[in-house]
């Protein structure tokens, strides 16, 4: 990987990135993260601060792809003795739901995709087990999905989805920091993306610092036309 810092793409305040390994042959990246010691551990069940640590544990969590690279976070976390709710609980890192093996922003993205595609299509596109997708779609709290808010977007990702090989495409624009879907366009042409950018004010366009996407020419054209910072 290049010298570029990846940390802006992982704006999780309660963790620190300690190591990253990219496996070029499988297009997978493994990022080791640990709790940021500046924060007192918090019980995920009741939200109270806890000082008694029961043990340390580690798990691998899928995150949003970074263009075509699959991202895995190897997250170390603490199990706590919570005196408030009288449980041994997992600390709240604002990163993953304790029962789901994906980050919150990936869960948000999956949940939003399930509104425009079938569970099987979402599973195939993200290379996840369909049971996982189904579980996330079922469990995930129904988020407000009304008027999209385009203010303060910093990092966008463009995901190209082929619904049936060689036939139908969707162009999805998501807020990379949260996994929130902000635009669903049919097809994958420059004008598909231009239609999205046309809804943004000059100020909203200016706040966009980066766009994560595959090197698909029409997309690059649309991003260059609309975003004056480096794509």
Q: What is the nearest approach in angstroms of Zn ion to the Cβ of residue 94? A: 16
Q: What is the nearest approach in angstroms of Zn ion to the Cβ of residue 44? A: 8
**C-alpha distance from residue 45 to each of 50, 181, 223 (Å):** 11, 28, 42
Helices (H), the chain: 104-113, 119-126, 130-139, 190-197, 202-206, 217-226
Q: What is the nearest approach in angstroms of Zn ion to the Cβ of residue 82? A: 3
Q: What is the nearest approach in angstroms of Zn ion to the Cβ of residue 83? A: 8
- Residue 88 or 120 with smaller CB distance to Zn ion: 88
The reply on whether position 98 binds Zn ion by CB under 5 A is no
Binding mask 45-84 for Zn ion (x = CB under 5 A): xx-----------------------------------x-x
Rounded Cα distance, 16 and 219, in Å: 32
Q: Which stretch binds Zn ion (CB under 5 A): 6-14, 38-46, 105-113, 153-161?
A: 38-46
The torsion of the CA quartet 106, 139, 160, 199, rounded to 10 degrees, works out to: -90
**Selection from 128, 137, 177, 127 nearest residue 157 by Cα:** 177
Interface pick for Zn ion out of 21, 52, 57, 85 (rule CB under 5 A) = 85
Q: Which helix (H) or strand (E) holds 81?
A: strand 69-82
Number of residues forming the site for Zn ion (CB under 5 A): 6
Rounded Cα distance, 33 and 77, in Å: 9
Considering only residues 135 through 194, tell me which ones interact with Zn ion, judged by CB under 5 A: none
Contact set with Zn ion (CB under 5 A):
43, 45-46, 82, 84-85
């Amino acid at each position: 990987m290049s010298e570029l810092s990846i940390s802006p793409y992982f704006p999780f305040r309660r963790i620190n990135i300690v190591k990253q390994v990219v496996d070029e042959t499988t297009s997978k990246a493994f990022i080791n993260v640990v709790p940021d010691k500046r924060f007192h551990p918090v019980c995920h069940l009741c939200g109270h601060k806890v000082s008694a640590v029961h043990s340390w544990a580690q798990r691998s969590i899928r995150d949003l792809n970074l263009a075509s690279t699959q991202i895995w976070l190897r997250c170390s976390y603490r199990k706590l003795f919570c005196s408030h709710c009288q449980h041994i609980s997992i600390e709240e890192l604002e990163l993953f739901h304790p029962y789901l093996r994906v980050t919150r922003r990936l869960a948000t993205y999956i949940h939003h995709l399930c509104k425009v595609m079938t569970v099987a299509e979402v599973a195939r596109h993200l290379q996840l087990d369909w049971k996982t997708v189904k579980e996330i779609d079922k469990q995930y709290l129904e988020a407000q999905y009304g008027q999209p808010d385009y203010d303060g977007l910093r990092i966008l990702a463009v995901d190209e989805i082929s619904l049936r090989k060689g036939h139908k495409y969707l162009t999805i624009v998501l807020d990379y920091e949260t996994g929130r879907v902000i635009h669903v366009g049919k097809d994958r042409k420059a004008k598909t993306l231009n239609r999205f950018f046309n809804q943004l004010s000059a100020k909203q366009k200016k706040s966009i610092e980066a766009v994560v996407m595959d090197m698909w020419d029409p997309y690059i054209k649309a991003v260059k036309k609309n975003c004056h910072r480096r794509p």
